[in-house]
Chains A and B, each alone.
Chain A
Amino acid sequence: MGDYRHRLMDYVREEIMPHRFCVGCGCGTVLNAFVNAVEELGLDTKKMVCVSGIGCSSWIPSPYFKSDTLHTTHGRPIAFATGVKIMRPDLTVVVIAGDGDAAGIGGNHLIHAARRNIDLSVFMVNNMIYGMTGGQVAPTTPRGVKTSTTPYKNIEPPFDVADLVASAGASYVARWTTYHVFPLMESMQNAIRRKGFGFIEIVSQCPESYGRRIGLRTATDFLTQFRDVSIRVEKTKDMSEDELKDRIVIGKLRDRERPEFVGELHSLKNEQVEALKQESVA
């Protein structure tokens, strides 16, 4: 077989490919879906800013995606992105970060951005572990799991991050897995198109730092499980909490119109500038 060039290579910093993600890592798939989403939307990458924090998923846009990028401190990409979006509301600002980054250390910024409904797209890659540092327990790790810092068992219940973000006030919330690539890609397009806080929780495989601890040693093992335990949100209406305990609820979880922060901020500012103009003329 050949040595051809992928038709979407223009969107990627080719000189540093192949990327550093582990064999079978979901991050590669998320990058793939993202690039496809951007292409299908017809976005001009010169008008995009991708912001990420610290962790493996944060490497998806930085350094691999070819646009303006901002690789920030751990947990803070949403706060940095807010400053960018406010001063350049014409640019498409996307945040891609992991569960530890966005919902752990960055949890506060996540809920406030959702509350304000800032026009950002945040794609949180949830591999249920702190992967980059070798496999420590995360706020999204299921109960009972033995990780490097819960060597006996994890006694903490995990966050339902998508639920949290929806409750906090986001316009658009969805959850998919790296198995459900086509709907994921479409969801990314919806989140970007929609004015307001668009959040997608992407359940993803980490065979190296997480999978090895729970007997899912390959990407195939993981994706098979994602496929088997996922259940579309439409089908869960009459199901009890107990029945949903070990399932992954996927689909569009929230989609509503709400006032958007950056737009309102600029309106307020424009009103004040106008008022001063009137005063000066008078």
Chain B
Amino acid sequence: MIEINDDLCKGCEICISFCPLKVFANSEKLNRKGYYVPVVLDEDACVGCRLCELLCPEFAIIVINE
């Protein structure tokens, strides 16, 4: 399961660009700071590699592997 903390996100798009399964996508959703936050397109495609979690500069993503 992927959790994104919208208000910590700065819209850098690293997660969108580098997820090997292309789980994330751009969205039209703005957070309180005015950044466009990513959305999870297909959570089932996620294999729990945690690359997004580690790459994210903002501590805005966690991956919970059940």
Q: Interface of A with B (CB < 8 Å)?
A: 1-4, 6-9, 12, 17-19, 21, 23-29, 31-33, 36, 178-179, 181-182, 185, 218-220, 223-224
- CB closest residue in chain A, given B61: A6
Chain B residues with CB below 8 A from A32, complex form: 53-57, 59
CB distance from B29 to the nearest CB of A (A): 9
Interface size class on chain B is: 20 to 34
Chain A residues with CB below 8 A from B56, complex form: 28-29, 32
Chain A residues with CB below 8 A from B3, complex form: 1-2, 4
Chain A residues with CB below 8 A from B17, complex form: 220, 223-224
Q: Is the CB of A219 within 8 A of B54?
A: no
State the CA gap A215–B2 with chains docked (Å): 32
Query: Chain B contact residues: over half helix, strand or loop, or mixed?
Result: mixed
Q: Which of B1-32 contact A (CB under 8 A)?
A: 3-8, 10-14, 17-18
CB distance from A41 to the nearest CB of B (A): 16
Known pairs A4-B3, A28-B59, A36-B54 / 15 extra A-B pairs, C-beta < 8 Å: A1-B5, A1-B40, A3-B5, A6-B60, A23-B10, A24-B14, A24-B57, A31-B59, A32-B57, A32-B59, A33-B54, A219-B13, A220-B18, A223-B17, A224-B17
- CB closest residue in chain B, given A64: B59
Contacts A18-B58, A28-B58, A33-B54 given: A219-B5 contact, CB under 8 Å?
no
CB distance from A52 to the nearest CB of B (A): 17
CB distance from B54 to the nearest CB of A (A): 4
Chain A residues with CB below 8 A from B53, complex form: 32
Q: Is the CB of A27 within 8 A of B14?
A: no
Q: Is the CB of B55 within 8 A of A220?
A: no
Q: Is the CB of A181 within 8 A of B8?
A: no
State the CA gap A270–B10 with chains docked (Å): 53
Q: Is the CB of A26 within 8 A of B57?
A: yes
Per a CB cutoff under 8 Å, which of B11, B18, B35, B60 touches A223? B18
